[in-house]
Structure 1
Amino acid sequence: MSYALYLPKKRNMDIQGQQILAADIGGTKTSLGLFEVQGEALLLLREATFPSKAHATFEEIVKTFSKDLPVPPILSIGVAGPVLDNAVKLTNLSWALDGKLLERDLGINRVVLINDLEATAYGLAGLAQEDVATVFDNGGTRRGNMAILAPGTGLGEAGIFWDGEAYRPFATEGGHSDFAPRTALDLELWDYLRRMSDMVSWEHVVSGPGIYSIYCFLRDAKGHKEPAWLTENFKNDSNPAAVISHAAMRELDATCIMSMELFVSYMAREATSLVLKHKATGGLLLGGGIPPRIFPLLRKDLFRQQFIQNSRMTGLLQRVPIEVILNSKAALIGAAYYGAYGQY
C-alpha cells in the first residue's frame, strides 16, 4: 500500500539514525513509541500503552516510559483535541498540553503537537497492505482528496488534500457539529439526548458512548426489554458499547442489533457529509477503535446504502472507495512520521 503523503524531509540524509519519541493521546489510553529513522522508513524500537485517566499528567507517562532512555531530540504528539499554536486542551480528558512547556519540563529540543486524526492520516505512510481492509472498491484509479472518520471514545474527523503530487492531511472538529435527525425515530432520539446535553452533536451518536446512548434510548424511552444475561454483562464489563456490538454481531439480542444498525446508519450519514464537504473522491477511510471491531457490520449493505443516499450527489458518492484502517497504531505511527519527516 502506498500513499504519497507530504513529508518533505524523507530524503534528508542528515536525520538518518535519529530517534523520535511519538505519542497518541486519547480519552481512554495513551500510547508511546520510540522510533528510529532508517532510510525513508521508521523502525519501532519500543512501545507501551497507559490508561490515560490513571495518570495526573502526560509528563508523568513520558517520564515512566523513558526513565532508562536517552532524551530524544523530538517528541511528536497526536492528540484528541483542537491544536492551536502548538497547544491543546483535550476534549475527553482533563489535560492541557503546551509544546513549549513540555520542551522545558522534559528537556526535549522540539515538541510538536498535531490532532490525532491528522496523525492517523500521516500514519498511512507507514501502513502495509494488510493494515487496511476494503468495504467498497470502485475498481478505478483513485484521484482527489480523501477523508477520515474515526469513532472511538469520541468522533474524530480529518481531511486529506491532494495537491496534485502529494496528500496533505489537515484536522477538523467536525464531530462536534450538530446531529441532523432525518426520521421520526431520529427526532425522538435527539429529544432524548437533548435532555442530557445543551447541544446534540454527531459525537453523541457516532462514538462508543454514543452506541450506549442509542441502546439506552431504545430501552428506556422506547420500552425495549433487557434480558437478565445482558444486564449481567453490562455489570461485568466497563465498556458497554463492546457488550452491545458483541451481542449484535452474534445476533443475541434484538435491541442490540437495532442499536448497531442505527449507529452504522448515523456513521454512514456523517461520512457522507464529510466526503461531500471535502469532495473526497479519492476515498473515505474509517479509523478509530470501533470500525475494525465491527468490520462485518460495515461490509453489509446498510452502511453503503446509507452512505450513497443523497438528493443530488448519489452519482459522486457511488464512486468513492471506502476502507477501514485495521492497524490500531496508525495515529502513533503517523505522529512519528510527522515528527521525523514533516514540515513544522
Structure 2
Amino acid sequence: MAERQFAIVADIGGTNARFSRVALDTLALDQVAVYPCADFPTLAAALQHYQQQLGLTAIKDVAIAIACPVNGDNVKMTNFHWQFSINAMQAELQLNTLLVMNDFTAVAMCLPALAEDQKIQIGGGQAQAGKPMAVLGAGTGLGVAHLLPVDGKFLPLPGEGGHVDWAAQTEQEWFIQRQLAAQYGHVSPERLLSGPGLEAIYQALAVFQKLEVAPLTAGEIGQQALSGQSQLAKDAVAQFYASLGAVAGDLALTLSTFGGVYVAGGIVPKLLPLLGSSEFRARFEAKGRFAGFNQQIPTFIVTAEQPGLLGAAVYLKQTLAG
C-alpha cells in the first residue's frame, strides 16, 4: 500500500503523548505508542522520535489532537510547557499536511466512526441520521463539543460548555453548590463532573451527612463505590451521575441533538456498573415541558479505547478529501 494511504495521528495530553499510524481507507489504527511528554523538549521532537522508532519517516500527513485551545497558528498547551507554530512545525518536519485540533474536537469527530461495540446506549431514544450530535467527557476537566452533519461531511463545534453555570436542583445539590461557591466563587459543571469534581462531591457530602472522613482521590472513591465498601462513596458517584445526566440533557436541548448525546472521558467507563441504577437518564429527561423532547434523544457511553486518535483520523481523512 502506498505511503499516501497512511497517515500519523496523535493525541497529546498534559502528561502523555499518544501516536498511531492510520490507514486512511479503513481508519484502522496500528503501531500505537505512548510517551511521557516530559521525555521530549518539543512536540516536534516527540513526533520525530515516533517516526524514526517505527520506521514511518516516509509518512507526510499528520493530524494532532491536543489538550488546549487551537485558535490560530500559535499553539500553547494549558497544562504542559510545549508551544509551537503549526506552520513552522510543518516546515521543520517537511510534512505535506499538519492538521492540529483541540482534543475534544477530535472526540466529537470520532462519533460517526464508532462501531457498535465502541458505545453503550443508556435509556431509550433512537439516533437520527443527519442530525446534530453532542459529546461531553469527564476526566481531568469536563470537555464539551457538538458535531453537525453538513453536506455529507461533519463540522465540529468545540466550546467551553464545562464552564457555564451549574444548576442545583435538590436540597443536597444546593448544599454542594454553597460549599463549592465558598471555595471557588463560580460553580461550573466542571467543578463536579471531573476527577477533582468527584473528590469535591465526596467531601461536600461528608459535611452534608455530618461525617468526618479523610479526603480520597477520585480513583479511591470509585473503587470504594464499586466494591460497596463505602456508602458515602456510592452516594458521591450517584450524585456525579445525576449531575452528568442533567448537563447532558441541557446539551441535547441547546442544539436539538437528535443524532445522540455521547459521554466520553476517563471516569464514566470505569464506573459503568453503577450507571444503570443511577438517575443519569431520568435527569437527562427531566426537562419540564420538554421532557418528551429529550425522551426521543438517545444517550451513549463511548467505550472506544482511543477516541482522540480515531477522531483525528476522521478529521484528517475528511480534510484530505477536500
| TM-score, normalising length: structure 2 | 0.87
Q: State the match for 1:118 in structure 2.
A: 105
| 1:322 paired to 2:322 | no
1:34 partner SS: strand
1:124 partner SS: helix
1:182 partner SS: coil
Q: Measure, in 2, the Cα distance between the counterparts of 1:54 and 1:182.
A: 46
Q: State the match for 1:106 in structure 2.
A: 93
Q: Deviations over 1:51-72 (max 9, x none)?
A: 4466554334323322333153
1:41 partner SS: coil
Structure 2 counterpart of 1:214, from 192, 201, 222: 201
> How far apart are 1:112 and its partner, in Å?
1.4
Q: State the match for 2:226 in structure 1.
A: 249
Change (3 A) 1:298 1:252: same
Q: State the match for 1:183 in structure 2.
A: 170
Q: Deviations over 1:128-173 (max 9, x none)?
A: 2211111124257556211111111111111111337454332121
Change (3 A) 1:277 1:140: closer
| 1:136 paired to 2:113 | no
| TM-score, normalising length: structure 1 | 0.82
Q: Deviations over 1:21-76 (max 9, x none)?
A: 21112234321112233xx3134341112344665543343233223331531221
Change (3 A) 1:147 1:254: same
Q: Measure, in 2, the Cα distance between the counterparts of 1:214 and 1:276.
A: 26
Higher relative contact order (CA 8 A, sep 6+): 1
Q: State the match for 1:203 in structure 2.
A: 190
1:67 partner SS: helix
| Conservation of the 8 A alpha-carbon contact between 2:172 and 2:208 | no
Matching residue's letter, 2:135: I
The answer for unaligned runs of 5 or more in structure 2 is: none
Range that drifts further, 112-121 or 79-88: 79-88
Q: Measure, in 2, the Cα distance between the counterparts of 1:201 and 1:270.
A: 11
Matches within 5 A, 1:1-344: 17-37=4-24, 40-52=25-37, 57-68=42-53, 69=55, 70-138=57-125, 144-163=131-150, 165-219=152-206, 223-226=210-213, 234=216, 240-342=217-319
Q: Measure, in 1, the Cα distance between the counterparts of 2:81 and 2:182.
A: 24
Change (3 A) 1:283 1:219: same
Q: Measure, in 2, the Cα distance between the counterparts of 1:276 and 1:125.
A: 20
Aligned residues: 319
Q: RMSD in angstroms over aligned alpha carbons?
A: 2.7
Q: Measure, in 1, the Cα distance between the counterparts of 2:42 and 2:174.
A: 40
Q: Measure, in 2, the Cα distance between the counterparts of 1:254 and 1:91.
A: 36
Q: Measure, in 2, the Cα distance between the counterparts of 1:316 and 1:270.
A: 15
Q: Deviations over 1:283-319 (max 9, x none)?
A: 1111111221122222225111111111221010111
The answer for unaligned runs of 5 or more in structure 1 is: 1-12, 235-239
